[in-house]
């Protein structure tokens, strides 16, 4: 059975219907039996009444009766003293005290014969059985039918009651269903029946174990990446020393240096990725000055820009924002890093912060080749680069940058969109921080 | 220039020793916190490069203890920790600078040069960037070998830019190196000084990074 509700309703209704019909059948049978007894005693009483009249009858007299249901005869010896008008002139029942079933006048009759000792009259009363039976049936059915008619009403009531009984299950399903994939916090429901408590406890237990195992995995990756920093440092320094010993212009170490840098970059990105997946993350938000933060990151990353002789411009308003400083720095470093990497020698990069109402827009644009629109969604995937591993830019990278950016954006409940820069023609990355920005307009467009 | 290097990773330490010695530094190496403190008792170096992840004690504890006896010793932290809290607590405990592993050797050398100039035991007090030579001892500036006259503020501005050649100086950081606390600064003071400096220097010597600040290109 795929639905508990339907199962319960079908089973309960079937049992109830069966019960109702059995009791109705029983009621019908005993009702009919009781009615027969009552009618019989009526018939006997009528005979009794007729016998006590004791009038001097003239043989062949008839008495008119307004009914077709009853008839009677009064006999003395072999003579019919009196009969009801609807009764035949022949003897309708044996002259023997008691009830008899007889056929005459094309009907079946119930008769009662009574002998009066004083007048030596035989009084015979008769009742048409078909009329009697239909009367009895009417009486019995009147009491049985309401029970049968009530069944659909009961079905509706049961439907509602079962629904209410199952409501906590529905709520639990909703809570579980609306959980985000990365939300492993325990479930808590206000009203919990005993039966569901066990389920909730087991589910929470599972969530906890899942969370612990995720944590272990995350911790392991973070620790491994962290531990790799020192050997990479040593590698870099040994390479530096080796390069010093080579004659000027010898670039045999170039590939080694590049690969070491690439490895170092990957380690940093993995660390950034794992640092920003912390549950405690949002709790540590502080009010930040986005303008200063962006400026600081530009200052920090400027050496890269200088290498390729690129022009950078920063236009912004001074607005405050609730967020995590380290994460937002990482975000900005990744966006600028991408812009530096993919913008050719002598190209331009534009960083803008604009505030409208409660929203804050951070945009990084460049004059590089951009990203084809159909790749916009894909580049956010981990280890995904435009054009795959054979990235046309021949720029080393690991494909984690934008997925880290998106992760940080989501943690700040912001929205990121990629597009084509109207001013510079390359990629334009826009991030809108909707809530949490603290208005304070102070146009800073100096220098 | 004598440097005490406190680093427990032997391979990294060996590489650093070689590189720093080639660049003319005298380097002593110890591999743990206790040895570092012991070494400081007998001999005070000019600069200390301290790794935070030491096997016997926390690098920040070493720093705290060093600061008691040597409040002025320039300390450069080398560390694999890089969270904001780590940086802040390192600088709060009195570190002068902070370098996160893995770092570039030229970057380490540049930071050490800044220390060197600060303690002015440097053999040369001259900073040469392109055609401009600034003598911090004589407070003189030579452009293409010709002595040029600068006002005190212009000289300080140029010095701040040349000392940090290759890095952007924001308007705020330039203001703070030119003016003391509470001093009235006109909103366009830096722009005016830069404008005047440019007239006396080679063209494009000072580059504007719009919206961020100014920089002098490292050669």
Q: Is residue A446 pLDDT above 50, yes or no?
A: no
Q: A305-319 as b/e, with b when 16 or more CB fall inside 10 Å?
A: bbeeebbbbbebbeb
Q: Is residue A131 part of a domain?
A: yes
**Where among A150, A175, A203 does a domain terminate?**
A150
Residue position matching structure tokens 């308003």 = A317
Which of A20, A134, A21 lies closest to A68, judged by CA? A134
Identify the CATH number of the domain in which residue A372 sits: 3.30.565.10
Q: Percent of chain B beyond pLDDT 90? A: 21
Q: Nearest Cβ partner of B211 from A233, A240, A314?
A: A314
Q: Is residue A192 pLDDT above 90, yes or no?
A: no
Rounded-to-integer distance, Cα A351 and Cα A312, Å: 8
Rounded-to-integer distance, Cα B132 and Cα A361, Å: 41
Averaged pLDDT for residues A325-346: 87
Residue A159's pLDDT is what? Answer: 87
Identify the CATH number of the domain in which residue A131 sits: 3.30.450
Q: Which residue ranges form the domains of chain B, and what is each CATH number? A: 2-118 (3.40.50.2300), 126-216 (1.10.10.10)
CB distance B214–A447 less than 8 Å?
yes
A391: domain range? 277-444
pLDDT tens figures, A13-54: 889 889 888 888 888 889 889 989 999 999 999 999 988 887
pLDDT tens figures, A67-113: 888 999 999 888 888 998 888 888 888 889 999 999 988 999 999 99
Q: Is residue A29 part of a domain?
A: yes
| Alpha carbon separation from B3 to A269, B41, B65, B109 (Å, rounded) | 32, 15, 18, 12
The answer to pTM > 0.80 is: no
Residue A203's pLDDT is what? Answer: 86
pLDDT tens figures, A238-256: 999 998 888 877 788 888 8
Q: Is residue A444 pLDDT above 50, yes or no?
A: no
Averaged pLDDT for residues A167-189: 80
- Could you tell me the end-to-end alpha-carbon distance of chain A, in angstroms, rounded to an integer? 74
- Residue B77 has a CB neighbour count (10 Å cut-off) of 25
**Where among A116, A133, A150 does a domain terminate?**
A150
Q: Which of A150-154, A216-220, A337-341, A369-373 has the lowest mean pLDDT?
A: A216-220
Q: Is residue A202 part of a domain?
A: no
Q: Are residues A302 and A438 in the same domain?
A: yes
Scanning every residue of chain A, which has its alpha carbon at the shortest distance from the alpha carbon of B8? A230
Q: Is residue A235 part of a domain?
A: no
Scanning every residue of chain B, which has its alpha carbon at the shortest distance from the alpha carbon of A271? B82
Q: Is residue A146 part of a domain?
A: yes
Residue position matching structure tokens 């035949």 = A88
CB distance A299–B166 less than 8 Å?
no
Q: Is residue A223 part of a domain?
A: no
Strand partners, B2: B26
Tokens of B23: 């660049």
Q: What are the residues whose beta carbons fall under 8 Å from the beta carbon of A120, sequence distance 6 or more? A: A76, A77
Q: Is residue A385 part of a domain?
A: yes
* Cα-Cα-Cα-Cα dihedral sign, residues A425, A431, A432, A433: negative
Residue B201's pLDDT is what? Answer: 87
* Residues of chain A contacting B209 with CB distance shorter than 8 Å: 298, 302, 312-314, 447
pLDDT tens figures, B189-219: 888 999 999 988 887 889 898 888 999 887 6
Residue A140's pLDDT is what? Answer: 83
**Where among A135, A150, A165 does a domain terminate?**
A150
Rounded-to-integer distance, Cα A366 and Cα A313, Å: 10
Per-residue pLDDT of chain B (219 residues), as tens digits, is 789 999 999 999 999 999 999 988 899 999 999 999 999 988 889 899 999 888 888 888 899 999 888 888 899 998 887 666 667 777 777 888 888 888 888 889 888 888 887 776 545 677 888 888 888 778 888 888 888 888 888 898 998 888 888 888 888 888 887 877 777 777 788 889 999 999 888 878 898 988 889 998 876
Q: Nearest Cβ partner of B105 from A237, A316, A445?
A: A237
Residue A440's pLDDT is what? Answer: 46
Rounded-to-integer distance, Cα A242 and Cα B14, Å: 13
What part of A 247-286 touches B (C-beta under 8 Å)? 264, 267, 271, 275
H helical segments located in A282-324: 290-307
Q: Is residue A375 part of a domain?
A: yes
pLDDT tens figures, A392-412: 555 656 667 788 888 888 888
DSSP A57: P
Q: Are residues A285 and A428 in the same domain?
A: yes
Cα angle A181, A187, A192 (rounded to 5 degrees) comes to: 145
């Amino acid at each position: 059975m795929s639905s508990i509700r339907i199962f319960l309703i079908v089973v309960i209704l079937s049992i109830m219907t069966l019960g109702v019909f059995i009791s109705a059948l029983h009621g019908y049978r005993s009702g009919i039996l009781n009615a027969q007894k009552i009618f019989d005693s009526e018939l006997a009483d009528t005979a009794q009444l007729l016998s006590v009249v004791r009038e001097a009858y003239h043989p062949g007299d008839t008495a008119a009766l307004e009914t077709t249901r009853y008839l009677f005869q009064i006999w003395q010896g072999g003579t019919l003293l009196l009969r009801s008008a609807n009764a035949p002139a022949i003897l309708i029942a044996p002259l023997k005290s008691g009830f008899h079933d007889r056929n005459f006048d094309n009907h079946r009759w119930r008769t009662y014969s009574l002998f009066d000792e004083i007048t030596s009259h035989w009084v015979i009363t008769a009742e048409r059985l078909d009329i009697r039976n239909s009367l009895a049936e009417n009486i019995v059915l009147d009491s049985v039918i309401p029970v049968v008619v009530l069944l659909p009403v009961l079905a509706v009531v049961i439907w509602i009651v079962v629904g209410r009984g199952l409501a906590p299950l529905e709520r639990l399903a909703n809570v579980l269903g609306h959980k985000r994939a990365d939300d492993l916090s325990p479930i808590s429901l206000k009203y919990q029946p005993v039966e569901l408590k066990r389920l909730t406890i087991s589910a929470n237990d599972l969530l906890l174990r899942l969370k612990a195992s995720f944590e272990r995995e995350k911790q392991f990756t973070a620790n491994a990446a962290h531990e790799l920093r020192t050997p990479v440092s040593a590698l870099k320094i040994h390479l530096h020393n080796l390069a010093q010993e080579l004659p000027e212009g010898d670039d045999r170490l170039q590939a080694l240096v590049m690969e070491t840098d690439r490895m170092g970059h990957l380690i940093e990105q993995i660390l950034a990725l794992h640092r920003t997946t912390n549950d405690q993350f949002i709790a540590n938000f502080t009010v930040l000055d986005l303008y200063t933060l962006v400026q600081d990151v530009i200052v920090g990353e400027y050496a890269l820009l200088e290498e390729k002789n690129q022009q950078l411009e920063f236009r912004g308003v001074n607005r405050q924002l609730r967020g995590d400083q380290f994460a937002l720095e990482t975000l900005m470093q990744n966006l600028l890093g991408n812009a530096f990497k993919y913008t050719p020698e002598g190209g331009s990069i534009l960083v803008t912060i604009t505030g409208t109402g409660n929203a804050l827009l951070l945009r990084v644009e460049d004059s590089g080749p951009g990203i084809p629109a159909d790749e916009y969604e894909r580049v956010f995937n981990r280890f995904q680069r435009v054009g795959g591993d054979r990235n046309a830019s021949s720029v080393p990278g690991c494909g984690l940058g934008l997925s880290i950016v998106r992760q940080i954006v989501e943690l700040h409940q912001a929205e990121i969109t990629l597009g084509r820069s109207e001013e510079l023609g390359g990629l334009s990355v826009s991030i809108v921080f909707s809530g949490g920005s603290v208005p304070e307009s102070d146009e800073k467009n100096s220098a | 220039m004598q440097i005490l290097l406190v680093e427990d990773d032997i391979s990294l330490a060996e590489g650093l020793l070689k590189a720093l010695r080639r660049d003319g530094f005298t380097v002593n190496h110890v591999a743990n916190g206790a040895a570092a403190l012991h070494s400081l008792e007998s001999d005070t170096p000019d600069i200390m490069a301290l790794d935070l992840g030491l096997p016997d004690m926390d690098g920040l504890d070493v720093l705290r203890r060093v600061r008691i006896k040597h409040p002025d010793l320039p300390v450069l932290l080398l560390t694999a920790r890089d969270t904001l809290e780590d940086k802040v607590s390192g600088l709060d405990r009195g570190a002068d600078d902070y370098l996160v592993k893995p770092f570039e050797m030229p970057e380490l050398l540049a930071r050490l040069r800044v220390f060197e100039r600060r303690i002015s035991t440097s053999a040369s007090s001259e900073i040469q960037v392109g055609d401009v030579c600034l003598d911090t001892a004589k407070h003189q500036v030579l452009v293409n070998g010709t002595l040029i006259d600068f006002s005190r503020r212009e000289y300080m501005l140029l010095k701040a830019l040349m000392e940090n050649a290759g890095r952007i100086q924001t308007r705020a950081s330039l203001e703070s190196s030119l003016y003391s606390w509470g001093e009235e600064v006109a909103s366009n003071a830096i722009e005016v000084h830069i404008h005047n400096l440019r007239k006396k220097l080679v063209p494009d010597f000072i580059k504007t990074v719009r919206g961020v600040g100014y920089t002098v290109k490292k050669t």
